Each structure stands twice: as structure tokens, then as C-alpha cells.
Structure 1
Amino acid sequence: MDSAVATRLQLPTIERSIALQTYELSKTYRTGFWMNKKVKSLNSVSLTVYEGETFGLLGQNGAGKTTLLKTLLGIVRPTSGRAMILGASLGDRAVKQRIGYLPENPYFYDYLTGWEILNYTGDLFGIERSRQKKRIPELLDLVGLAQSAAKKKQLRQYSKGMLQRIGMAQALINDPDLVFLDEPMSGLDPLGRYQMREIIVSLKAQGKTIFFNSHVLSDVEKICDRVALLAQGELIALGSMQELLGTAEKYYVMVKGGRPEMLQPWLPDMEFQDGLWAGHLNGAAADFIDSLALMNAQLISMSLARPSLEEFFVKQLRDRGIHSSS
């Protein structure tokens, strides 16, 4: 559109509602026998999460992820700075009715059954039992737990994956607007991880805001709108996948057949893998495709090449001289 026309039309800017926002949030712990040593778990963290967004928080063990999450939930008090959750200050009791939370290692009264723990959580939220009778079966179906097992089996008999699933169900019992998930894929097998991703995607489709930590970067890359990277308590990167990983300008190509000497100018770094020539394309994609017939080659695949989130994550830490904390 012509800029002069756009100016005359006064095209409106779409404003996004804010689900949570932090301002220079910091947390310092005292440690040691005399409590005279200070450890800064969060250092002036400022970020914004918008309503309806799936937001991923990344970082090594000890980076401050769980501290930030617990500070937002009001479990931990910040040393300095402030934050707003759903338009209210931290600790607002009315806002807590609109929040769901799954801890990294959920612990429940293990003599209760899954159904009973959901009843108990529903009672804490003041949800009527008539509503719970409809809500609980919906949640058990959503997280992949059979109603019969949830009614009869005590939590002490649950596997780690089953506890994670019932934990997700209790986090959603109040139909929250904002859901905090601390390592939601922890303890799940590949099928369980897939199902958890599908649950998060379905929550987003309902317009809910999801804020979660995870070490499984491939899952984060698939489902998050934006991510933030914490390192030693500091926010060192924040943005969408495109903003952080960039828009790939090159294609990674795999072709079958063809003469190597003719393919070489197009694929200067090409290698022979499992009967195919593969490499990064040098030149215009359309011209390369038009030339395939002349080279007696068949295109097998062509994909945009850009670093993965895991590669970006490792590079950011290495550039700052940060090594593994495990």
C-alpha cells in the first residue's frame, strides 16, 4: 500500500491485552551458617506476557526459572521490583481464583484417589459439587486418565507420569485464565509429552494464557509464541522464534541422482548421505529447480535452514562463558 494512502487512512494499531508484566524484578536469598552470604536468584527481570499467548521460560538448572514463577504466584516475595498479574498486583486474592498452577514435582495427599484430590481442589476454589461432577470427568478425559482408575486408585499407586497428569487436571479445575506450568513434560514418555503438548495447544485455542518452564526445547519450539532465556538470574534473550532464530535465507536441499560436478556450484557444501546429495543451496531456489532436469537430478526435499532453539540456547550461554550446571 502507498505510504500516503496509509497515512490518510490512519490504519489503527492493534493493542494486545497484557496478562502479566514484571518490572525490574529481583530476588536475593541469604545463605550460610550465619545467613551472611547473599545469592541473587533473579536480577532485574522485566518482561511482558500477553493474553492468549503461550510463553516459554528457558534456562539451566539454577537459572532462576522456578524462582520467577513462584514470585509471580506470590509463593516467594521479591526483594525488589514489582509485577502485575491480570491487571492486579502480586498476591491479589481475587486474581488467584483465575490462575492455575502445576508445580515441577507435584505432591498430593497420597492416600486420596485422583478423583478425591480433584474434589478437594474444587472445594478449595469454592466450586459447587454439581459443577465438579461434570468438570472432573472432562479433565480426566483431557489429561488421558481413565475415570475408573481415578476413582479407585490411590495417588501412592500412581506413576510419575500419572501424577503429572493429575497435577495438570487440578491446575485446570477452576477453568483458569492464566496457567503456570513448571516443567509440565517432566516424567512423561514420548506419547505423554505429545499429549501434554496437545493439551497446551487446546488451552491456547480456548484463549487462555500459558506461562511455562521446560528443559525440552523441541517442545517449546513447537508450541510457544514467544520465549525468554534466563541465565544466572538475568534475562538475556526474549522474543518470538523468528525474532530469536531469524528468518532463514538459505535452503537445505536433498536431491537424488545428478552429476556431482554440475550440482557442486549449487550445493558447495554438499555431502552424499544415504544415496542422496544434501547441502545448502547457493543461488535462487526457482533457478535451481529449473536446472534439475538438465542435471538429471530429482528434488527430494527443500527446507529453510535456520538454527534450532537448542542451538540458539547453547550459543547464548557459551557466548557468556556459562557452562553446564548439572
Structure 2
Amino acid sequence: MAAIQLQGVEKVYRGKVHALRRVSIDVMDGEIFGLLGPNGAGKSTLVKIIMTVIHASNVSGTLLGKPIGDRKTLESIGYLPEHHRFPYYLTGKQVLDHYGALCKVGRKDRITRASSLLSRLGLSGWENKKVGTYSKGMLQRLGIAQALMNDPKLLILDEPTDGVDPVGRREIRDLLAELREEGRAVFLNSHLLSELEMVCDRVAIMVKGKVTMQGTIDSLTVDSRRYEITTLGSIPEWAIELADDVSENSFTLLGDDPSKIQPILDRLRSENIIIVSVQPVRENLEDLFMRAVDNTDAPGAIR
């Protein structure tokens, strides 16, 4: 089932500024979905529309099978806003108890969950200390803990690892993987590309309010325009001249048509050169992201 299903979401401010342009996204149960884009792309605007913090100019879709805005459904969603603030005079345990009460969690369950989540998020020993003494990374961990207090089926996290050290980010990734194994849906909004690449099943790239790419990381990062040919032994001079990039025993060719590779392979074989492999070059998520941004900035791109 689709935990989030959005179709043609638009947000226009004052009739002129298009923050979102017909955004369509599906997030499935048991999936970690990442939304990435440069600052000002509209990521947080979309999250706020999903959570009904702001109203869309046009929206069609569902959350957990119910129309967006259904108040009962919102009780089954865990949410971490981008810029969250907790009362500095409360302890970590008190913060979780407060948010658990807001989510109508019984007192006994609040006590049990708060203790478990503080331990799970690496905050053991800090539960009775005021959050005014917490570091930024600790506040992020506490924010994730509060998003889990209602035992949600869907978790929406806006920049969850912002300010968290590498060890903490690893622990958060492990936690998200556990939640996925439990069948929960996780929607991440982040500008940390390496984090999304390590944990997400699928991603969408948003640029200037429009989703320009969407799919699994494997399918998106295969560059069908470039092929790496690996040979046993040295590469002939003529192949080096054709290559876009060359290493010790492999070279990369740039070409939109895979059939153009075949004559080169035939020539290599005719010269008794052993071909070890021929495969599309795989980009990383940063390469893909930069290509999406560059394409949007190109003449004729959607604005």
C-alpha cells in the first residue's frame, strides 16, 4: 500500500511565486524514500503541505489510504520539522512525555516508550537533564525520538541528521533500517546526499519546485550515455584516442547509442584483445543531483 500518494501538488504564493509545480510522489509501506534538492527547491514546503501545516494551491492524494488533512490519520504519523524547538527548561524525558500526551498515548506507554527511545537514540544518561544543555546533535536525536512516541506507521523527517556527528548519523541510519524492516514507511527530506544514498530505497530530486527525477538509486545512477570497457592487458592507441576517460586497463566511451559500441568491441576482438567486461558507468548520487540541477538551468528548461 502507498503510505503517501501525491498527485499534481501545487503551491503558488500571491499568485506569482510557484513554490511547487505539479509534484507527484508515491511512498510505499516498508520503504525509505528520500527527497533531495538545493535550498529553496520546495522540499520543506511539500512536507508542510503533507502535514497540513500550510495549504496547497492544488493537492490530490492520500496519507495511509485517507485523504490528506484527515485528522485521525495525522495521529498515526510521526513528524520531525526542519527547525524544531523544545522548551529549554524541560528534561528529555519530560519532552517525550509531553509529546506522547499530545498524541493521546497512555501514561504507562509514555513512560515505557520514552525510556526505550532515549536509549535507542543514544541519549541514555541525559533523560533527566534539561534540553537547554543539549548539543544540536542531541536535540536532533530527541526530535526523532518524539516523532516515534506515537508508534507511527509513517515517519516524516525533515533534515533528521542536520548537526549530528558521523557516529550519530550511522546510528540514525541503523534505526531507520530497523523501522523499514518493521514495515513502516519513512519519508526523508535532506540535503545530505551521501546519507540518502546509503539508506534510501528510492529518491526524488526536486529543483525549482518540480520533481525532475524519481526512482531507485540503482536505476537513476546508471549513466546510459557512458560505457566502461575493461580489457586484459594494455589498451591500443586507437582506443585511447576514442576514449572519454582512460585508466590502466579500462577506458570509458561517451555515446547516446549503445550500438555504436559494437564496432569498437569487434575491432578489439579482431586484434586478439581480451574483453573482460562492458558495462554502463554508474554515477553517485551527487553526480546525478548536479546533472538534474544543470539540466534545469539549461535554456528551455521548465521554470
- Pair in the same fold by TM > 0.5: yes
CA deviations over 1:115-137 (Å, ceiling 9, x no partner): 00001111111211211222112
Structure 1 residue 247: deviation in Å? 7.4
Cα deviation code 1:125-169 (max 9, x no counterpart): 1211211222112101211111x3111x11111110000000000
TM-score normalised to the size of structure 1? 0.77
- Give 1:100 shift: 0.2
Instruction: Give the Cα separation in 1 of the matches to 2:161 and 2:236.
Output: 45
Shift of 1:191: 1.1
Task: Give the corresponding residue for 1:70.
Answer: 48
C-alpha spacing 1:191/1:265, structure 2 compared with 1 (3 Å): farther
State whether structure 2 residue 121 is matched by structure 1 residue 150.
no
Correspondence list, 1:110-125, <5 A: 110-125=88-103
Q: Hey, what's the Cα distance between the residues in 1 that align with 2:179 and 2:107?
A: 23
- Structure 2, unmatched stretches of 5+, are 253-263, 269-273, 299-303
* TM score, norm. by length of structure 2: 0.82
Q: Supply the distance in 2 between the matched residues of 1:321 and 1:38 (Cα, whole angstroms).
A: 20
2:189 aligned residue: 213
CA–CA distance in structure 1, aligned partners of residues 202 and 229 of structure 2:
25
Other-structure match for 1:167: 143
Give 1:246 deviation, angstroms: 2.3
Residue 6 of structure 2 corresponds to: 22
1:289–1:88: structure 2 CA closer, same or farther, 3 Å change rule? closer
Residue of structure 1 aligned with 2:219, choices 243, 247, 250: 243
Cα distance in 1 between the residues matched to 2:281 and 2:194: 16
Q: Are 1:263 and 2:234 an aligned pair?
A: yes
Decide which of 169, 172, 177 is 1:201's aligned counterpart. 177
Amino acid at match of 1:199: L
Residues 1:61 and 2:56 aligned together = no
Q: 1:155 to 1:307 in 2, by over 3 A?
A: same
Amino acid at match of 1:127: V
Q: Give the structure 2 partner of residue 81 of structure 1.
A: 59
Q: How far apart, in 1, do the equivalents of 2:275 and 2:26 lie?
A: 43
Q: Is the 8 A contact 1:252 1:305 kept in 2?
A: no
Q: SS of the counterpart of 2:16?
A: strand
CA deviations 1:181-221 (Å, max 9, x no partner) are 00111001111111111111111111100011111111111
Give the root-mean-square deviation of aligned CA atoms: 2.7
Q: Structure 1 residues 157 and 24, CA, compared in 2 at 3 Å: closer, same or farther? A: same
CA distance in 1, matches of 2:21, 2:63: 19
> 2:23 aligns to what?
45
Q: Displacement, 1:47? A: 1.8
Counterpart residue number, 1:274: none
Q: Where do 1:173-322 residues align within 5 Å?
A: 173-246=149-222, 262-265=233-236, 268=240, 269-271=245-247, 277=248, 279-280=250-251, 287=274, 305-321=281-297
Distance 1:39 1:289 in 2: 53
State which of 94, 102, 127 in structure 1 corresponds to 2:80. 102
Aligned partners of 2:115, 2:280: CA distance in 1, in Å?
43
Q: Deviations over 1:61-86 (max 9, x none)?
A: 01000000010011111111222111
State the aligned residue count: 275
